[in-house]
Amino acid sequence: MLRLRDQRLADAKRASEGDGNGEGLRCDASATAQSKETPTKAKHAILASLVPLMESQVEQAQGLQEVLREDILLRRQQHDEMLAVRKREREVEYQEHREQREQEFKFRQAQMEAERQRISLMIAILSQHASASQPKEGSDE
């Protein structure tokens, strides 16, 4: 391809430097004749040179796809791990809250039992005091 281009340049140069006796015109005519055939060959050569480039770009794209797949899998795994951690944290918080409610319930239950005993004791004291302050029926006379 480079040879062909160099040959065209040389032919064009000779045609422009022609000495006026028609030699330049002959070179120009041969260059024109060659240029009629060569565009197809040149196109094929250009396309052939593009094939490795396109193949390398396809390989790069496939490599990028693989990297993106791995990145997506990694992100999904990290997301799942984060969800698992959050779930464990919620379970721990729920368990702590439940234990705290149970302790508060037991404390209130103990308070109510103490209040019940205090009321029972007061009733017993009041009934003893009431029975002691009642006059005996036979003692007034």
**Digit-coded pLDDT (tens) for 3-34:** 666 776 666 666 555 544 544 445 455 555 55
List Cα–Cα distances, 125 to 19, 75, 119, in angstroms. Answer: 147, 74, 10
Q: What is the pLDDT of residue 78?
A: 98
Q: What is the pLDDT of residue 44?
A: 87
Helix 2-16 / helix 23-133 crossing angle, nearest 10 deg: 140
The phi, psi pair for 56, rounded to 5°, reads -65, -35
Q: What is the pLDDT of residues 69-94, one digit of tens each?
A: 999 999 999 999 999 999 999 999 99
pTM: 0.44
Q: Kindly list the domain boundaries of the chain, sorted by start residue.
A: 2-130
Tell me if 8 sits within 8 A of 31, measured CB to CB.
yes
pLDDT class of 38 with cuts at 50, 70, 90: confident
